[in-house]
Amino acid sequence: MGPSTALLEVTVLGPRDVAGAEEGGADRLHLVTAAGLSPEPSVVSAVCRETELPVVVTLRLNDSWTTTGGELTRLVGLGEDFLGCGAHGLSFGFLDADLQVDTLVCAHLAAALPGVPWTFPPAVDDVLEARHAWRDLLTLPGLVAVRSSGSPRGLGVGYDDLLATATADPRIAALLMPGGGLLAEHVPWFLRAGVSQFHVDTQVRPGGTHRSYVDAGHVRSWRLMLDHEAEQAAGWAGTA
């Protein structure tokens, strides 16, 4: 990724989504089920065979943001399976009983899967105290992105707070990957704040639904817009 470009991560649900994402100009694929859980290893293998792009696979076995000791052992094994299938990285993140980042669980997974880049999911939007959560996230090894919309209700509600958080701390801006209702109008301001990773999902599917496959034209529109706005932001930074 050059200095005037932004990374575009696209959610895929299976191998049929890969061509549209790749042809449209995605930089990274995020593989997950429509329910937000871990896919089957066979699906991971099928997706990885379809592309040379890095594939990040979700590690999550239930629909909450908590996990148990027994599940943790399964998650480590599943992560190893996904990596063996060709995954480049993983997406995982859990909260504790106090609704803060469960740093013990996250650090355990990172240590059990050493050297593997990973992204933190929108669990961060459900924490009780966001500033505390971000301080914890900045300490975790191997973390390359935190997907957030600033609110459980999406960027339509959380945009202002999330932008302020990124603007206030360049370390957070470097990790932040806005997602969950991202709009084109949000992008220039995030870029100016130092954000360089962006996540799209149903925005690149006809009809805005998981019932349709990722469309190359939709992805290309985001790719061109991100590249243009990144160049504009670089020019703005140079004159600021």
The set of residues, in sequence order, having a beta carbon less than 8 Å from that of 3 and lying 6+ positions away, is 234
| pLDDT score, position 49 | 97
Cβ(86)–Cβ(49) below 8 Å: yes
| pLDDT score, position 240 | 58
172 CB burial (10 A radius; 0-12, 13-18, 19+): buried
Give the model confidence (pLDDT) of 74-89 as tens digits: 999 999 999 999 999 9
The class level of CATH for 7-239 reads alpha beta
Residues of the chain with pLDDT under 70: 1-4, 236-240
| pLDDT score, position 113 | 96
Alpha helices in the chain (DSSP H): 18-24, 41-50, 69-84, 103-112, 130-137, 155-168, 170-175, 187-192, 216-239
| pLDDT score, position 70 | 85
Single pTM value for the model: 0.94
| pLDDT score, position 4 | 46
| pLDDT score, position 228 | 94
What is the rounded distance in angstroms from the CA atom of residue 199 to the CA atom of residue 55? 13
Q: Where are the domains of the chain?
A: 7-239
Give the model confidence (pLDDT) of 56-69 as tens digits: 999 999 999 998 88
Helix (H, G, I), strand (E, B) or coil at 74: helix
Cβ(121)–Cβ(145) below 8 Å: no
| pLDDT score, position 2 | 40
| pLDDT score, position 233 | 85
